[in-house]
Amino acid sequence: MARDLDKYVRRYTTLSSALDTLAQKHLVLLSPSKWDDLNDVYFMELYRSVSNAGSVLALCCTLATETYHHWRVFTQGMEGICLEFERRPLERQLSILPGIEMRKVDYLKVGDLETLHSREADRLPYVKREGFSDEREWRIVSTCAESAVMAKSVAIELTSLNRVLLNPWMPPSLADNLRSLIRSIPGCESIRIEASRLTNSERWKSAGKALAGP
């Protein structure tokens, strides 16, 4: 059987946001108005208009395996957290909620975008320029009738959470305290909590030592 490369979706976020997700059992979708990519902001506004929605909100995750880029760009310093969900169970939870859609982002060249027809306007929230393709983004999008909505809470069950991954630069003492804190949250007693070894792997270093020889 072929390996499912899209089995997990990962949400890189701040410590406070991760604790809020775990304690409240929800995901918070936000207005895209403050996103860095102004092309993305514009497309979300176009989608709001063609959908006759008052507001469009979104939450951005990734299907990519752990990368240095994601830690540095999408978390803040040594307190960054990655929440790793099983994609299909999470999709099943979200798909029954009104006004919620989720999909992989497609990465296109300008010429490819220019060939699309207006009947494909529902793709607007899920297309980005090819230069962003390494992000392998998976996005949750919500439309609502009210205008100027800046945030929306979406209830989830933590049964879809595979593990909590701690920032590779987090001091061991802070990591230990954080494990205790997370496991004190109702429903989180048995959650896997692991420290990232991306930048400090004993197995990687041992392999290098063997390569160097005696």
- CA atoms of 150 and 30, how far apart (whole Å): 6
Q: What is the pLDDT of residue 57?
A: 98
Residue 125 has pLDDT above 50, yes or no: yes
Residue 79 has pLDDT above 90, yes or no: no
Q: What is the pLDDT of residue 77?
A: 78
- Quote the pTM value: 0.92
Residue 73 has pLDDT above 90, yes or no: no
- CA atoms of 63 and 40, how far apart (whole Å): 19
Q: What is the pLDDT of residue 208?
A: 95
Residue type, position 30, single letter: L
Residue 25 has pLDDT above 70, yes or no: yes
Confidence band, pLDDT 50/70/90 cuts, at residue 75: confident
Q: What is the pLDDT of residue 214?
A: 80
For the stretch 44-69, pLDDT in tens is 999 999 999 999 999 999 999 999 98
To the nearest 10 degrees (0 to 180), the angle between helices 15-24 and 172-183 is 20
Phi, psi of 206 (to 5 degrees): -65, -40
Locate 212 and state its tokens: 């160097």
Residue 129 has pLDDT above 90, yes or no: yes
Stretch 101-110: mean pLDDT, rounded? Answer: 96
Residue 4 has pLDDT above 90, yes or no: no
Residue 112 has pLDDT above 90, yes or no: yes
Q: What is the pLDDT of residue 3?
A: 60
